[in-house]
Amino acid sequence: MSHIKAVFDPGEIEKCSLEIIDNEVAEPRPFTGRKWRVVRRMIHTTADFELLSLVSFHPEAIRSGIEALKVGCLILTDTEMARMGITFKRMERLGCEVRCYINDPLVHEKASDENRTRAAAAVDHAGFRLNGSICVIGNAPTALIRLLEIIKENDRYKPSLIVGMPVGFVNAPESKHLLLSQNQVPFITVRGRKGGSALAASVVNELAEMALEEKGECLTNV
């Protein structure tokens, strides 16, 4: 199998992968600068070049996300999978905490009593902690819909950034359309059915790299 590349170092594999993406997406690219870094990371995570036509950024998304990370914001995820996909070492260096409330007993009870999803109940449970946070939704459209309802009802619960990428067939495209239609909170999203926890987490990881660069941190493979 002589066609297999003799690359075994994790950092070198990542570097090679990003170079391949750069080479396969001809210039002029649909995204430039920091937006391209984020989209390239998303493609690296999924090997899905269709994302080039699906990703949407609010004009303030990159800046707002980086500034929030630099001051050690809370990151709230809709699933444990998304929480685990956000690299701990990066968050530790930035002083950020990543939380997911979906398995909290109070969330279970509230969801059962009100006959709705735990993901939606977890957004209510976050409450005031939403303010200034980065909300990462990669799985549950109900979480994104409820989050947007709360923001509309009370601007005291305004996140710094919504990474809204719920995946699926029932209300996933519709929930992202709602996100695109509002202008209260900066967002990064993927139009249509595609998304996922790993994809949403990859966005936060790339923004964290940028935040560390701005803070003058020495970057290592994490």
SS3 per-residue string spanning 73-87: CEEEECCHHHHHHCC
- Weakly modelled stretches of the chain, pLDDT under 50: 1, 221-222
User: Distance between alpha carbon 137 and the CA centroid of its chain, in Å?
Assistant: 7
> In whole angstroms, what separates CA 52 from the centre of its chain?
16
**Per-residue pLDDT, 106:** 96
pLDDT at 155: 79
- The answer to whether residue 172 sits within a structural domain is yes
pLDDT at 13: 78
Could you tell me if residue 14 is inside a domain? no
CATH code of residue 82: 3.40.50.10230
Report the run of H or E that residue 208 belongs to, with start and end: helix 197-214
Residue 79's domain comprises: 52-214
Specify the 3-state DSSP secondary structure of 47: coil
In a domain, 6, yes or no: no
- Which DSSP helix (H) or strand (E) runs through 221? none
Answer yes or no: is 29 within a domain.
no
Active-site residue, 3 included: no
Structural contact between residues 189 and 180, judged by C-beta atoms closer than 8 angstroms: yes
In tens, the pLDDT along 193-211 reads 999 999 999 999 999 999 9
Predicted pLDDT of residue 222: 47
pLDDT at 4: 59
Residues 3, 44, 125, 177: which is the catalytic one?
44
| 39 within some domain | no
Please report whether residue 34 resides in a domain: no
16, part of any domain: no
pLDDT for the residue 19: 87
User: CA 195 to CA 128: how far, in whole Å?
Assistant: 27
- Residue 65 has a pLDDT of 98
Residue 56, judged by CB atoms within 10 A of its CB (0-12, 13-18, 19+), counts as middle
Residue type at 166 in one-letter notation: P
Give me the number of domains the chain comprises. 1
Q: Find the radius of gyration of the CA atoms of the chain.
A: 18
